[in-house]
Amino acid sequence: MRLDIEDLTVEYGQVAAVRGLNLTVGDGELVALVGPSGCGKTTTLGFITGFIRGRTGKVLFDGVDVTGMAPQRRGIGYVFQDYAIYPHMTVRENIRFPLDASKVERKKAEREVEEIAGLMGVGDLLARRPHQLSGGQRQRVALGRALIKKPVVLLLDEPLSNLDAHLRVEVRAEIRRLQLDLKMTTVFVTHDQSEAMAIADRVAVMSDGKIVALTAPTTLYVRPPSLFSARFIGSPQINIWAIDGTDGALAHQFARPLIAEGGAGLLVGVRPEHVQVGQGDLKATVTLTEPLGRDFLVHLDVGPSSIRALVPAAQGTRLKTGEEVAVRVEPAHLHLFDAETGRRIEIDMAGVRHLDESTGGTHGLAG
């Protein structure tokens, strides 16, 4: 089923939580809504369910306007951040509840409960009560309850954030596998960019009530459409230097091949993993090395400016604080942004600036 949200604006009192949002999720597609807390992700989900009213905006299921429809009639599957499992019911009663609500005959309902519980791997927990379950088990029960009525769309609100770190990766993969198997149209809300990148067909980056980027995960990483999404996606965070200001010398040094004419009003960005240490003719001083496991994060100073670089552990262990090293950046790995609007700038062969339009949301790229 295809999901469309058109021109959604939600206000709480004087404050706009969502402003003019448009989003289409294709049939069987998984879109991740990602952004810092308070950016309007959960409000958008609330609008899809019908619990939150927009000042303007429509939601369409397969082209049919369901904006005025009561939540219980929309046929949505929803997994809450804290799972919202009914504490006074057994696992069996929890999963069966949607079928009871739509008056499915008891025998048939029981069969379906067994089936979905098996699929979720909670088949032997059906008699338990929620307080006897682990976090991961509760998560599966919530997912089973959401899926048993064969929802038209599955909404997942930070479903992994209450799980232990090691479990998170495992469950993430399970959810994705299940979603692909069932070809379920899904919106996945998270504040964790790596989670969004890993699970989604497309990632919608939200900031301040707007979608500021909407594209495939790899594109988002390779060609971030705005300063905000460049900073939000990728860890450790991207280096950003302004041509105008104290970092000007460094920024200019790196960007010279692209912006011969001076580059006033531009920001230059390089991801730490694309800073090459030990090559080139720019000299930098090591101020701190942080072992991250496979890699080392190295902090370097060049004059008044600093650089974060990601180097392999083998190289990282040899670097000493205070040591002077050479650094360089491949021009292809540079990202340029307009300092005023934050939008991505491409520079063509002739040195002319263009706004990058390929990956942005439909409404503005501010932030």
Cα 333 to chain center, whole Å? 22
Interface with other proteins, residue 221, by CB under 8 A: no
CA 271 to chain centre: 18
Is 326 within 8 Å of 279 (Cβ atoms)? yes
Residue 10 interacts with other proteins (CB under 8 A): yes or no: no
8 A C-beta contact, residue 275 and residue 315: no
Instruction: Choose which of 7, 64, 102, 124 interacts with other proteins (CB under 8 A).
Output: 102
CA distance 226 to 209: 15
- Backbone phi, psi, residue 219, to 5°: -60, -40
Q: Closest CB to other proteins among 148 and 204?
A: 148
Q: Which of 15, 37, 63, 88 lies at the binding interface for other proteins (CB under 8 A)?
A: 88
Residues 144-163 binding other proteins (CB under 8 A) are: 145, 149
Task: Find out whether 290 and 296 touch, Cβ atoms under 8 Å.
Answer: yes
Burial of 51 (0-12, 13-18, 19+ CB in 10 A): exposed
* Contact predicate 204/31, CB 8 Å: yes
Q: Is 61 among the residues that bind other proteins (CB under 8 A)?
A: no
Does 140 sit near other proteins (CB under 8 A)? Answer: no
Decide if residue 121 touches other proteins (CB under 8 A): no
* SS3 at position 54: coil
Q: Which is nearer to other proteins, 82 or 357 (CB)?
A: 82
Q: Which of 65, 86, 262, 283 binds other proteins (CB under 8 A)?
A: 86
Stretch that binds other proteins, among 71-79, 172-180, 247-255, 279-287 (CB under 8 A): 71-79
Residue closer to other proteins by CB (options 56, 102) is: 102
- Residue 13 interacts with other proteins (CB under 8 A)? no
Residues in the site for other proteins, rule: CB under 8 A? 49, 51, 53, 68, 70-78, 80, 82, 84, 86-88, 97-98, 100-102, 145, 149
